[in-house]
C-alpha cells in the first residue's frame, strides 16, 4: 500500500480490499483498484463497523487481525455509502 495526500487527507492506495484492526479508529480512507481496473474508495472505520460481526467470527481475522479480498469488495458492502 502507498500513501497519497489528497486534499490534506492521506489516502492509502491498494491493489486489494483490506480491513485491518490496526487501522480502526484512524478514520483512514482507502482506495482499492481491482484487477479489472475498477476503483473503490472507502472509509476504513465505516467498513469495519458494517463488517465487524462477520470479521470477528473469521479465523483469518482472529489470527492475522486483517481481512483482504483481491477481486471485489465484500457483498455486504455493495450498494452502500462507504465514504
For position 26, what pLDDT does the model report? 95
Residue 23's pLDDT is 97
pLDDT at 81: 93
Contact partners, residue 67, CB within 8 Å, separation at least 6: 18, 19, 20, 51, 55, 58, 60, 61
| Contact (Cβ atoms closer than 8 angstroms) between residue 30 and residue 67 | no
43-63: per-residue pLDDT in tens? 999 999 999 999 999 999 999
pLDDT confidence of residue 2: 57
pLDDT at 4 over 80: no
Residue 44: how many CB atoms within 10 A of its CB?
A: 20
Query: pLDDT at position 43, please?
Result: 97
| pLDDT value for 40 | 95
Amino acid at each position: 500500500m502507498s500513501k497519497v495526500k489528497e486534499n490534506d487527507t492521506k489516502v492509502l492506495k491498494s491493489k486489494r480490499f483490506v480491513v485491518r484492526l490496526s487501522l480502526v479508529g484512524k478514520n483512514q480512507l482507502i482506495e482499492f483498484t481491482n484487477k479489472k481496473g475498477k476503483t473503490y474508495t472507502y472509509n476504513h472505520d465505516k467498513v469495519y463497523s458494517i463488517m465487524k460481526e462477520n470479521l470477528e467470527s473469521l479465523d483469518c481475522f482472529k489470527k492475522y487481525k486483517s481481512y483482504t479480498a483481491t477481486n471485489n469488495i465484500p457483498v455486504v458492502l455493495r450498494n452502500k455509502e462507504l465514504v
